[in-house]
Structure 1
Amino acid sequence: MLDVRLLGPVEVWAGERRLSIGEPRQRAVLAALACEAGRVVTAETLIDRVWGEQPPARARHTLQSHLTRVRAALRQGGGDPLIRRSGGYLLDLPADRVDLLRFRVLVAGAQGDVGVLREAVRLWHGEPLAGLAGDWVAAMRSTWDTERLLAVVAWADAELESGDPAAVVGPLGVLVREHPLVEPLAVALMRALHAIGRTADALGQFDALRRRLADELGADPAQATRAAHAVILSGTAAGDPVPAQLPADVAGFAGRAEALKFLDQVPSLAVVGGSAGVGKTALAVHWAHRAAERFPDGRLYVDLRGFGPGGPMDPGEAVRGFLGALGVPAPRIPAEAGAQSALLRSRLAGKRLVLVLDNARDSDQVRPLLPGAGSCMTVVTSRNQLTGLVAADGARPLQLDVLSPGEARELLHRRLGPERIATDPAAGDAVIELCARLPLALTLAAAHAAMQPELGLATLADRLAGGTTPVGDTPDTDVRAVFSWSYEALGPAAARLFRLLGTHPGPDFTAAAVEAGEALPELVRASLITEHTPGRYLLHDLMRAYAESLEPEPGAEARLFEHYLGTAAAGAMLLAPTRPAPILPIERGFSQDQEAAMRWFAAERAVLLAWSARTDGDRPWQLAWTLDTFLYRQGPWHDLVTVWERALSTVRDTRARAYAHTRLARAWTLLERAAEADEHYRHALGHHERAGDRDGQSGVLHEMAILCERQGRMRDALAHAEQALAVSGYATANTLNTIGFYRAQLGDFAGALEFCERALALYEDSGEADNRAAVWDSLGFIRHGLGEYDVAVECYETALRLYREIGDRYWVADTLVHLGDTHRACGRSSSAAEVWREALGIYDDLGHANAADVRSRLSAGIPQGS
């Protein structure tokens, strides 16, 4: 197969052998045909491109001679792709065999994918059409250079997002020297230099650009360039959010003056140790609130659940949560744990943030979360001493003991008021000692007293002393005595709810989930639960352990699980109405709209993941099925892997296992782990083949085609899609559309049109608006490729209308980008900018990596110096 190169010297390669094309005019003829491979180019157009406004007297005859020599040269490679057609000539090569066309296909489909953009940028080998001259050559060289610069800026943005800014510094430096007035290039270089710690060099680039613009154009840098400069000066990244994840400050915090002073003096890493209930979290959160002005770039918080009932949180989950809070779109988070931690350190570099890593199990759980920058402060709390962090990471240890008598009195004063304590100070001291001077126990006792103003402190002390759980010699047993007494003081409904909460997997819950009624406020007033964010409640892990020790009503846990599963299943059906019903039946009960369903999944994601880890049998598969659409759309694809792996470990139904393999493979595909994806697809294919399920085989082959597409293997993708069509025995609209789209990507626009029009005919009688929209989008791409720009616009606008009807914002944005490309191709630059701005707004709202690609398109100032 022949390969034509235009992005450098004009060359033709047959495998490893370069063919001799001849003198410049012949290479110009070849270039004029190759840049439109697969389309007929008229003789008049060829003459105009090769000779311009002054062709030779016998231009047609001379053109024929050149064409004959070009055909002879191409035949050296074993083919004869130059075809005479009515009205002109056609170079019959697929798009992926001409570097210019392959470059455009890769850039158009990259959607911020750093690997695809790398491949596109590497196709350039110097000045395009090197060695040729003429007006057409000059115009194409300028146009293609602009496309290259747009792609390079998009690639640089993607490398920065993926945590590898060093990869772009060298290439950007070369291009900035070649195009000294192109501001987006300079901005990309400034950001990359700043990201690797060369902030002075980044600021120097801005100063040099400003001088060049003033000297040569009499202009100032654009607003976007000035904004990037200001961001670098302030030490923050453009558009980065300022996270504020700390829980609410502790009401009535008392004492701990020495501990607070200690934390004020720690340069970067402190470990706060102590027994359960001694107030480690309260101290860390209170100090972080108090010191917030020192950390203008944000406050990060995570409960690592080191001693919770579901086991400690995987550190990768915490790292990904922090990256999301710092503005990294989920699709940009690497699959490997080490790469995730490296990206977190890159994001924290040069920033001033405080991180509170609460309730850690051990040093290994903490290390992946530690910033590499000394400008950040990290406070770790744990019941264990974490000597590894002290020895190897330079952490300063602080061991908390129970409150001193004076601090304990201060806490009661703040909770109950000094007047009430003054009426019977001896009784107050008795309460303090019965609570073993533990902040958690004292808070519970004070809450009980505050709810009953008529209750004397002496009576309170007597009730504490008479608790059913005896006070022992350790803080844990002391606080359990107060738990027992607080629980026994509850009304029947609140006590029943408290027992139910012992079956909840955590980490938090809403009133609706537990059908709380008036019982929930009673538990809050008694300080047995905390409303850590509006509408969401949690238990201290000691409190949860105590609740677990109580006997719930029969079937309570099952009913709680069914609430979550049923609501999730109904939400999943709302998000994807045409999705096939689950193989394993689920009750449904959700009645709101798609946006409400997405909000519910976002709020309950951690709870559903916790249920997945706790349940067995078919339940993990059912939960994975309900979460699949939400996780796929939102981008936490690592969670997709987690839930489908759990499903595979417990489910036994053959069809369900095949489905789980397929979905797990798709998750690995999204995470760019092709080997894992291929392995699971082959497992799924084997299940379907053994069961004689041809539809199942077709579906897996279709998914394997998508895997090949993401790897840039378009011919393999097309082969899998065509095999899917052959195996199923009948033409499904989805497969027809996929085949059509792949044919278009390979430059076979006529064949693509046939398949997509067949797909549309099958879909038109159905209510599947999302699938019809996808076909109209494909048709827009095909019509654009055929040069029928007005028809392409109509196709894209039809796709937009359908996507808007179903509220699918991602695909609205994707189609807007394509529509803008068509507007630009036919000279409507203002219309292109308008739809791209709308797409950018959606991508920014979604936190999607494609925003960088759209920003590159909107960098319309690029032609200034190109």
Structure 2
Amino acid sequence: MLEVRLLGPVELWAGGRPLPVGEPRQRTVLAALACEAGRVVTAETLIDRVWGEAVPARARHSLQSHLARVRGALRRGGVDPLVRRSGGYLLDLPADQVDLLRFRALAGAHGDVAQLRSAVRLWRGEPLAGLTGDWPAAMRAAWDAERLLAVVAWAEAELATGDPAAVIGPLGAIVREQPLAEPVAVALMRALHATGRTADALGQYDALRRRLADELGADPAPATQAAHAAILTSNEAAAVAPLEPVPAQLPADVADFAGRAGALAQLDKVPALAVIGGSAGVGKTALAVHWAHRGAARFPDGQLYVDLRGFGPGGTAMDPGEAVRGFLGALGVPAPRIPADPAAQSALLRSRLAGKRLVLVLDNARDSDQVRPLLPGAGACVTLVTSRNQLTGLVAADGAKPLHLDVLDHDEARELLDRRLGRDRTAAEAEAGDAIIGLCARLPLALTLAAAHAVMQPGLGLAALAEGLAGTRHRWAPLAGDTPDTDVRAVFSWSYEALTLDAARLFRRIGVHPGPDFSAAALGFADGLRELTRSNLITEHAPGRYRLHDLMRAYAETLETDPAVRAEDEARLFDHYLGTAFTAAMLLVPARSAPVVPIEAAGQPLADQEAAMRWFAAERAVLLAWAARTDGDRPWQLAWTLDTFLYRQGPWHDLVTVWERALATVLDEPARAYAHTRLARAWTLLDRAAEADRHYRLALELHERAGDRDGQSIVHHEMAILCERQGRMRDALAHAEQALEISGYGSANTLNTIGFYRAQLGDFAGALEFCERALALFENSSDGDDSRAAAWDSLGFIRHGLGEYDAAVECYETALGLYRQLGDLYWVADTLVHLGDTHQACGRTADSTAAWREALTIYEDLGHANAAEVRQRLSAGIPQGS
């Protein structure tokens, strides 16, 4: 088997023996291909990685020679995995045949001591040893940061399994190499303390504290100080506290849970996976949540919960990818690190769950396929799935234990009423209680609603309640279930008919809302909402936000029988959301061009950008639900309003969803061209270059057919950004220059982009001219502060490249001030990193440290992957990637 080794000197092995690779540039070509095995690497990227700024005149010819020699070395291993593809080259090797990629797969197995141990052992010294140039240096720094994270994770796992002595030697060696790497020092302190060498552990802390003070003028991080304090107080539990969040997502337990002793006992015996089935309203969710709460001590690593909406309103079940991404976020995976491919997302979830003891409640599933991407692999997790379907696929193929939940028996139903109403009240009217149990078909949801009605009206006798149920029972057909005994509509209707006229009208209006929840502002009539909440028809699950049980929503949907009134209600609700979304979108980018498809709806007023961001965050799921259930121009209008918010916040999978829905419904060609462009931009953010390129070219075709030169210019500008993300800087510059040529005038954004790319390619003088022209246009236009900030950031990069460090600092600080005003935390942090690099370059160590530490704090708050790079800067005291 062929193997490429990068975690040390670059080596090629086959059949247990090394193969000659050639001189350093050939080893660089092999490394550049191997670190992305299975993916196409463009010729431009290879040239940049091999020669950096010193590109020879005949670089492509030289690259071909190096590739030919690399191919010859690979063939000596008995295979020819080097494949020429359109646009570049692909090393067609499985990930486990490249030590770097194998390391990453093993390092992702959090808590699995064996896999983490194997990951750490793959390192043979300095990665890419013997190779020179900017790219090998940058990779060494980045990969070493990954190694430190893996070493710390391995140390934590060894501590958790009771073998702290195993890590002391390796950790000590790393601390000697990198004395400012705090997480490694903390792990060493914990290991020393766990083996009884507390004095040595405290000595490590003192040495670290002195080094930080002397070299960085800083104190140890809060986590380091906490570990020190825990050792001082011999609080071992705190000293080895987990570094990852412990999710606690379960809904509140049922306060008066009754019966189900047999079902609870069966769940106690479930080794890994159970499917709780039964008719609607039978109490599947209540049982699963109650059992998970009751057994919380068995699951110290937390509880995960998701409503998969398998039988929710509108018949739109949750995409399993959305649930997987939600779980990954709860387990501490930052959004930018979640892969785009659904299979890769599920694999990452399984890795995160490996070795952990969690309970997962997958509620309201539609079918087995919806559940499988969420299931852990082998391990100590227990998963409970609830569904109205039997999910025989999970039972047959995945070994799930089936648990069919029927209605309560009579004694259990009596216990429920006793707990809700009090024994004195039920004993005083025992026959009426029995009648209520029969009329409610012993269905827990129906009994709970009937009991709630009785609690709200303490003067109402149980006999009167039973009489009311009996009097209306024949008027409603079964809402769910497969027998007449499961008729909950009698209870729902009884509660509905007790409402005031205004509250009843409001409840019917809720029936056209797409869910999953709604705000008081959307529905209005606060008194009516309070009445519905008191009647247990809706629940205020967060201040000012309400939702319905899915059965109750289904019931509400049937109440408005006048099609004209229903259409009017839906239009009023949609216009509220669309109008408010339009207001919010314009607050985020005041200079934004009007939408191609006009938006004339009016919604609620919003004060400022901060209020707009809060509103979008609260209503995102509702807006996505509207986009999924409407047609015509509506999905396009919603996508247009959501675009800026989703772009800034990072749920870029949702950007893909809304723009794909827009393309599926809108007919107007200019609107379709715009949608193709924005969808391509979303795919660019997700590093799906092929999809992005396809949609950009479709947009270009539409713009060219319409003779829309401005549209063509915009698309080429966006294609430049796609090339930049692929490392194809020369192609990026070519597209940006084509955008300028097509438009016929100097768009400020385009000029700034051209300048930035010229600077990236080393043409700082030419770059300066373009960016100064861009800034002059920005300062005399209505473009937003984010555009001006970008121009100042580009000028900072250029001035730094020219060695004009004081001028670079002024540029970066101007950009920083603008980004702070916008509240754009990501770009604040990004600019702080660049500012710190410039301070460091001119010897102002204290200033660079302050900038980097603030950037690190922001990245950590955002859960962004760039935090690791900033930590490396702080540890090494030198800029990287500038």
TM-score normalised over the length of structure 2: 0.77
State the secondary structure of the residue aligned to 1:175.
Answer: coil
1:75 deviates by: 8.5
Q: Which residue in 2 is equivalent to 1:584?
A: 597
- Paired with 2:770 and 2:128, the residues of 1 have a C-alpha distance of 47
Q: Which residue in 1 is equivalent to 2:693?
A: 678
1:730 deviates by: 0.4
- Paired with 2:454 and 2:779, the residues of 1 have a C-alpha distance of 69
Q: Which residue in 1 is equivalent to 2:307?
A: 303
State the secondary structure of the residue aligned to 1:381.
Answer: strand
Alignment CA distance shift 1:458-1:825 (3 Å): same
Alignment CA distance shift 1:655-1:260 (3 Å): same
Q: Which residue in 2 is equivalent to 1:608?
A: 623
1:475 deviates by: 5.8
Whether 2:618 is the aligned partner of 1:618: answer: no
Whether 2:224 is the aligned partner of 1:224: answer: no
Supply the AA of the counterpart residue of 1:469. R
1:830 deviates by: 2.3
Q: Is the 8 A contact 1:187 1:228 kept in 2?
A: no
Structure 1 residues 840-851: aligned runs within 5 Å:
840-851=856-867
1:293 deviates by: 2.5
State the secondary structure of the residue aligned to 2:546.
Answer: strand
Q: Which residue in 1 is equivalent to 2:168?
A: 207
- Paired with 1:556 and 1:277, the residues of 2 have a C-alpha distance of 28
Structure 1 residues 590-669: aligned runs within 5 Å:
590-669=605-684
Supply the AA of the counterpart residue of 1:532. H
Q: Which residue in 1 is equivalent to 2:812?
A: 796
Structure 1 residues 703-714: aligned runs within 5 Å:
703-714=718-729
1:669 deviates by: 0.7
- Paired with 1:800 and 1:675, the residues of 2 have a C-alpha distance of 34
Residue by residue over 1:33-67, the C-alpha shift from the partner in whole angstroms, topping out at 9 and shown as x without a partner, is: x99869xxxxxxxxxxxxxxxxxxxxxxxxxxxxx
Structure 1 residues 144-223: aligned runs within 5 Å:
169=120, 172-175=123-126, 187-191=148-152, 206-212=167-173, 223=182
Which segment drifts farther, 557-566 or 205-214? Answer: 205-214
Supply the AA of the counterpart residue of 2:184. T
Supply the AA of the counterpart residue of 1:584. V
Q: Which residue in 2 is equivalent to 1:512?
A: 521
Q: Is the 8 A contact 1:183 1:225 kept in 2?
A: no
Q: Which residue in 1 is equivalent to 2:713?
A: 698
Q: Which residue in 1 is equivalent to 2:569?
A: 556
Residue by residue over 1:69-110, the C-alpha shift from the partner in whole angstroms, topping out at 9 and shown as x without a partner, is: xxxxx889899xxxxxxxxxxxxxxxxxxxxxxxxxxxxxxx
- Paired with 2:336 and 2:104, the residues of 1 have a C-alpha distance of 14
Alignment CA distance shift 1:239-1:656 (3 Å): farther
Q: Which residue in 1 is equivalent to 2:458?
A: 453
- Paired with 1:265 and 1:497, the residues of 2 have a C-alpha distance of 46
- Paired with 1:201 and 1:754, the residues of 2 have a C-alpha distance of 63
Supply the AA of the counterpart residue of 2:508. R
- Paired with 1:154 and 1:738, the residues of 2 have a C-alpha distance of 34
State the secondary structure of the residue aligned to 1:242.
Answer: coil
Q: Is the 8 A contact 1:469 1:484 kept in 2?
A: no
Residue by residue over 1:269-322, the C-alpha shift from the partner in whole angstroms, topping out at 9 and shown as x without a partner, is: 111111101000111111222222222222111111111233221111111111
State the secondary structure of the residue aligned to 2:702.
Answer: helix
1:428 deviates by: 0.6
Q: Is the 8 A contact 1:186 1:209 kept in 2?
A: no
- Paired with 2:179 and 2:821, the residues of 1 have a C-alpha distance of 44
Partner of residue 500 from structure 1, selected from 499, 509, 533: 509
Partner of residue 751 from structure 1, selected from 750, 758, 766: 766
Q: Is the 8 A contact 1:844 1:851 kept in 2?
A: yes
Alignment CA distance shift 1:316-1:262 (3 Å): same
Supply the AA of the counterpart residue of 2:426. I
- Paired with 2:809 and 2:855, the residues of 1 have a C-alpha distance of 16
Supply the AA of the counterpart residue of 1:175. E
Q: Is the 8 A contact 2:720 2:735 kept in 1?
A: yes
Alignment CA distance shift 1:836-1:667 (3 Å): same
State the secondary structure of the residue aligned to 2:516.
Answer: coil
Partner of residue 465 from structure 1, selected from 452, 470, 490: 470
- Paired with 1:395 and 1:421, the residues of 2 have a C-alpha distance of 40
Whether 2:787 is the aligned partner of 1:774: answer: no
Supply the AA of the counterpart residue of 2:592. R
Which segment drifts farther, 670-679 or 294-303? Answer: 294-303
Alignment CA distance shift 1:277-1:335 (3 Å): same
Whether 2:757 is the aligned partner of 1:742: answer: yes
- Paired with 1:481 and 1:320, the residues of 2 have a C-alpha distance of 39
Q: Which residue in 1 is equivalent to 2:821?
A: 805
1:372 deviates by: 1.1
- Paired with 1:732 and 1:581, the residues of 2 have a C-alpha distance of 18
Q: Which residue in 1 is equivalent to 2:855?
A: 839
Alignment CA distance shift 1:412-1:503 (3 Å): same
- Paired with 2:830 and 2:669, the residues of 1 have a C-alpha distance of 36
Instruction: Please tell me whether Structure 1 or Structure 2 has the larger radius of gyration of its CA atoms.
Output: 1
- Paired with 2:310 and 2:173, the residues of 1 have a C-alpha distance of 57
- Paired with 2:593 and 2:616, the residues of 1 have a C-alpha distance of 20
Alignment CA distance shift 1:439-1:645 (3 Å): same
Residue by residue over 1:619-678, the C-alpha shift from the partner in whole angstroms, topping out at 9 and shown as x without a partner, is: 000010111111111111111111001000110111110000000000111111111111
1:563 deviates by: 1.0
- Paired with 1:529 and 1:795, the residues of 2 have a C-alpha distance of 54
- Paired with 1:157 and 1:783, the residues of 2 have a C-alpha distance of 37
Supply the AA of the counterpart residue of 1:207. I
Which segment drifts farther, 588-597 or 553-562? Answer: 588-597
Alignment CA distance shift 1:828-1:622 (3 Å): same
State the secondary structure of the residue aligned to 2:799.
Answer: helix
Share of identical aligned residues, percent?
69
- Paired with 2:663 and 2:249, the residues of 1 have a C-alpha distance of 34
State the secondary structure of the residue aligned to 2:704.
Answer: helix
Gaps of 5+ in 2: 1-8, 11-21, 30-50, 62-87, 92-98, 130-139, 195-236
Over aligned residue pairs, what C-alpha RMSD do you find? 3.7
- Paired with 2:877 and 2:817, the residues of 1 have a C-alpha distance of 31
1:532 deviates by: 3.2
- Paired with 1:159 and 1:686, the residues of 2 have a C-alpha distance of 45
- Paired with 2:718 and 2:669, the residues of 1 have a C-alpha distance of 19
Alignment CA distance shift 1:475-1:608 (3 Å): farther
Alignment CA distance shift 1:447-1:740 (3 Å): same
1:227 deviates by: 4.0
Q: Which residue in 1 is equivalent to 2:533?
A: 524
Q: Which residue in 1 is equivalent to 2:431?
A: 426
Alignment CA distance shift 1:828-1:526 (3 Å): same
Alignment CA distance shift 1:346-1:185 (3 Å): closer
Residue by residue over 1:338-362, the C-alpha shift from the partner in whole angstroms, topping out at 9 and shown as x without a partner, is: 1110011111112222111001111
State the secondary structure of the residue aligned to 2:508.
Answer: helix
Q: Is the 8 A contact 2:420 2:451 kept in 1?
A: yes
Whether 2:299 is the aligned partner of 1:289: answer: no
Which segment drifts farther, 153-162 or 730-739? Answer: 153-162
Which segment drifts farther, 295-304 or 690-699? Answer: 295-304
Gaps of 5+ in 1: 1-6, 17-33, 39-73, 80-118, 123-151
Q: Which residue in 2 is equivalent to 1:443?
A: 448
- Paired with 1:614 and 1:711, the residues of 2 have a C-alpha distance of 36
State the secondary structure of the residue aligned to 1:490.
Answer: coil
State the secondary structure of the residue aligned to 1:174.
Answer: coil
Supply the AA of the counterpart residue of 1:427. A
Partner of residue 394 from structure 1, selected from 399, 406, 409: 399
Q: Is the 8 A contact 1:162 1:333 kept in 2?
A: no
- Paired with 1:75 and 1:603, the residues of 2 have a C-alpha distance of 56
- Paired with 2:422 and 2:712, the residues of 1 have a C-alpha distance of 72
Q: Which residue in 2 is equivalent to 1:573?
A: 586
Supply the AA of the counterpart residue of 2:614. R
Alignment CA distance shift 1:609-1:236 (3 Å): farther
Whether 2:342 is the aligned partner of 1:383: answer: no
